[in-house]
Structure 1
């Protein structure tokens, strides 16, 4: 098995009988309205990937993990002329991804249910599908030539890895996201010290998720992929050089892992786009001459930004007053449409304000309780959520050139909230498409309907808790305990305080923790491991599976 790194989360995996191209993101226009660019740049690989997919011989597959445009690149895929290959996509409840490929003109499209195997000569491809409400993702495994590659990219399936490895056996090469891909705290108006503290906590939480995945998977090699993008828009360029943010590069992760797990035999690899790894020997068959290093990173980014400056010149334009007024009215209509479909509107206890930078005295105020969107001259509520955005950016959402989540990931907005508490319904209202609002509400209710309980030991005491995380339903039987009191969700690392009834530190959700009756037998505990710097001391007590 040979694995060619295509940049970001992209790979081309070749076995004796098959080729699998995974998430090729190669367009020079980047993603999320060009806010994200590939790092390192990989546009030069587009002809090579087209050649691989167009050349007959082996059975050829194109795998797209989910709809985010740093994984699903329609601009690049449109350039492929000969499409006699099979497309593999996860079978989500929303059929948009497979509908797109049904019209693409390829050999066939296979929409895979969770854990479906696609046989290939000497092995198989298997997809793992994760869908919680409107959060849709998947991961892929390729087994062939006596080796196995598991690529979970961005997929939040950490609570499933124990079962997957038990069923699938040894993994040679493993890849998982290690860098942030969210607009918090990047777009929030925090003081610098608070921004750094939040970023550091989120960064180390992501690193810890990778560390725990490696402890479970025990691969021979880990490829650092789905890492940070390059932010080349002049308004975002500073993000590349912040001392602390949620976009670390691979050497920072490796330093963490070496301190956290000094005896783990796994090799840590940071390939450049175009490097080819032999999965058997774990040696690079070929490596490209240009390397991005800690020493040349700053110079590399400045050159890259200069080369791509034309992209951002072309997207700028000044709006006339009449255009701003029209966009303002269309935005108000869009927000009202969302609100009309938001069945859980009465759960949101604060209003949401939207300010167009071109019309600062004409704020839109979304009143969730009254289910109204009104125009006001100023923010009059102390408790509120607020967004500031330019009309020239938000109109691209209204014109359906990008969806709401893509817009949020463009980072071309400023957000604030008081109190500084994550409100899932409001968050969903902002990020979900109009047509997905009802499904979003149904997903929350379905998660809340899971009442199964399990037992956890912490600080020498035993508690019964809800087994499934109230956020997105992760199985807390695969969670862990930190500082002798906090149950940690394995999917998003939310902490629930057992000494405070299982209340969440992130928002007001709870696991409804209660003291459990003592039992004579001892609860099995995992081995303690030295934590990395800045990570809380970890009590490795596992959460027990429920008793039948």
Structure 2
């Protein structure tokens, strides 16, 4: 088995029986309205990937893990001319990927349920699908030539890893995201020290998730992928050089892993786009000459930004006053349509204020309780959530050139909230498409309906808790305890204070934790409720 790294989360896996191209993100315009660019630059690999997909001989597969444009690159895929290959996509409730590839003209499209196995000569390709609320993702495993490669990219399968390894057997090469891919705290108006503290906590939480997964899988090699992007828009260029943010590099991850797992045997690999790894020997078949390192990164990014200047010149346009007012009214209508479909609107206890920078005295106030969006001159409440952006940027969402989630990931907005507490319904209201709003609400109700309980031990005491996380349903029996009292969700690393009834330290979610009576404190654990760290 040979594994060619394409950059970011992209790979080409070649076995004796098949070629599997995974998440090729190669467009010179990057992703999320060009806010994210591939780091290192990999645009030159487009001809190679087209050749892999177009050349007959072996069975060929294109795998796309989810809709985020740093994984699903329609612009590059449109340049592939010969499409006699099979496309593998996860079967989500939202059918966007199936719909797009249904019109793509390829040999066939297989929409895979969780655990779907596609046989290839001497092995198989298997997808693992995860869908909770607004979070839709998948992972892929390729087994062939006596080796196994598991690529979970951004997919939060951490609470399932014990079972996957038990069912699938040894994994030789493993890859998982280690860098941030969210707009918090990047887009929030925090004081510098608060921003740094939040970023550091998120970074260490992500590193810990990788470490615990490596403990479970025990692969022969770990490939650091789905790492930080390059932010080359002049308005965002400073993000590349912040002292602390949620976009660490592989060098920082490896330093953490070597300290955290001093007896670990896995090789830590940071390939450059174009490097080819032999999965059996773990030696590189070939390596590109240009290597990006922490020492040359600053110069590399400045040169990269100069090469991409035309991309950002091309997206700038000054709007007429009439155009801004039209976008303002269209935005009000869009938010009202969303609100009309938000069945859980009464749960949101604060209003949302949306400001177009061109019309600072005409704020859109989303009143969740009254289910109304109206125009006000200023912010009226201390307890509130705010969003500020330009008419030009949000107009691209209204024109359906971006999804709402793409827009949030573009970082071309500023957010604030008081109190600084995550509100899942409001968060979903911002990021979910209109057509998915009812399903989003149903997903929250479905998660909340899971009432199964389990027992965990913390600080020498045993607690009865709800087994599934109230956020997105992760199995908390696969979590771990920190500081003798905080149960940590293995999927998003939320902390729940067992000594305070299981209330989340980040918001008002709860596990309804109950200290067991003294007579039940000595009962042995069962395997299904073993609270020991599993990831």
Short-chain TM bin? over 0.9
Residues 201-230 of structure 1: CA distance to partner in whole angstroms, max 9, x if unpaired? 000000000000000010000000000000
Matches of 2:401 and 2:133, distance apart in 1? 23
The answer for the alignment partner of 2:254 in structure 1 is: 254
Matches of 1:206 and 1:543, distance apart in 2? 16
The answer for the alignment partner of 1:380 in structure 2 is: 380
Q: How does 1:153-232 map to 2 (within 5 A)?
A: 153-232=153-232
2:109 is the alignment partner of 1:109: yes
The answer for the alignment partner of 2:532 in structure 1 is: 542
Is residue 476–residue 543 contact of structure 1 (8 Å, CA) maintained in 2? no
Is residue 60–residue 86 contact of structure 1 (8 Å, CA) maintained in 2? yes
The answer for the alignment partner of 1:501 in structure 2 is: 501
Q: How does 1:114-129 map to 2 (within 5 A)?
A: 114-129=114-129
Matches of 2:68 and 2:360, distance apart in 1? 32
Q: How does 1:448-467 map to 2 (within 5 A)?
A: 448-467=448-467
| Superposed displacement of residue 543, structure 1 | 7.5
For residue 196 of structure 1, give the secondary structure of its aligned residue in structure 2.
helix
Matches of 2:294 and 2:179, distance apart in 1? 17
Structure 2 residue ranges without an equivalent (≥5): none
Q: Which runs of 4+ in 1 moved over 4 A?
A: 521-525
Matches of 2:493 and 2:161, distance apart in 1? 15
Residues 214-272 of structure 1: CA distance to partner in whole angstroms, max 9, x if unpaired? 00010000000000000000000000000000000100000000000011000000000
The answer for the alignment partner of 2:41 in structure 1 is: 41
The answer for the alignment partner of 1:535 in structure 2 is: none
The answer for the alignment partner of 2:287 in structure 1 is: 287
Matches of 2:260 and 2:482, distance apart in 1? 15
The answer for the alignment partner of 1:477 in structure 2 is: 477
Matches of 1:487 and 1:3, distance apart in 2? 37
2:94 is the alignment partner of 1:94: yes
| Superposed displacement of residue 380, structure 1 | 1.1
Matches of 2:526 and 2:210, distance apart in 1? 23
Is residue 455–residue 531 contact of structure 2 (8 Å, CA) maintained in 1? no
| Superposed displacement of residue 133, structure 1 | 2.2
2:51 is the alignment partner of 1:61: no
Residues 97-135 of structure 1: CA distance to partner in whole angstroms, max 9, x if unpaired? 111101100000001111011000000000000011231
Deviates further, 87-96 or 325-334: 87-96
Is residue 175–residue 224 contact of structure 1 (8 Å, CA) maintained in 2? yes
For residue 143 of structure 2, give the secondary structure of its aligned residue in structure 1.
strand
Matches of 1:392 and 1:512, distance apart in 2? 45
Matches of 1:459 and 1:27, distance apart in 2? 51
The answer for the alignment partner of 1:431 in structure 2 is: 431
Structure 1 residue ranges without an equivalent (≥5): 526-539
The answer for the alignment partner of 1:240 in structure 2 is: 240
Matches of 1:306 and 1:543, distance apart in 2? 47
Aligned length: 530
Residues 437-476 of structure 1: CA distance to partner in whole angstroms, max 9, x if unpaired? 1000000000000000000000111000000000000000
The answer for the alignment partner of 1:409 in structure 2 is: 409
Deviates further, 128-137 or 251-260: 128-137
Matches of 1:231 and 1:390, distance apart in 2? 19
The answer for the alignment partner of 2:26 in structure 1 is: 26
Matches of 2:307 and 2:445, distance apart in 1? 48
For residue 359 of structure 1, give the secondary structure of its aligned residue in structure 2.
coil
Matches of 2:251 and 2:96, distance apart in 1? 37
Matches of 1:325 and 1:293, distance apart in 2? 47
| Superposed displacement of residue 96, structure 1 | 1.4
Matches of 2:97 and 2:363, distance apart in 1? 35
Is residue 37–residue 232 contact of structure 2 (8 Å, CA) maintained in 1? yes
| Superposed displacement of residue 520, structure 1 | 3.5
2:369 is the alignment partner of 1:369: yes
Residues 386-405 of structure 1: CA distance to partner in whole angstroms, max 9, x if unpaired? 00100010000000000000
Is residue 134–residue 439 contact of structure 1 (8 Å, CA) maintained in 2? no
The answer for the alignment partner of 1:537 in structure 2 is: none
The answer for the alignment partner of 1:305 in structure 2 is: 305
Is residue 172–residue 221 contact of structure 2 (8 Å, CA) maintained in 1? yes
Matches of 1:153 and 1:390, distance apart in 2? 32
The answer for the alignment partner of 1:318 in structure 2 is: 318
2:356 is the alignment partner of 1:359: no
| Superposed displacement of residue 541, structure 1 | 4.8
Matches of 2:422 and 2:94, distance apart in 1? 26
2:12 is the alignment partner of 1:12: yes
Matches of 2:388 and 2:359, distance apart in 1? 10
Is residue 454–residue 543 contact of structure 1 (8 Å, CA) maintained in 2? no
Give me the TM-score of the superposition, normalised by structure 1.
Answer: 0.96
Matches of 2:117 and 2:336, distance apart in 1? 44
The answer for the alignment partner of 2:389 in structure 1 is: 389
The answer for the alignment partner of 1:531 in structure 2 is: none
Matches of 2:522 and 2:470, distance apart in 1? 31
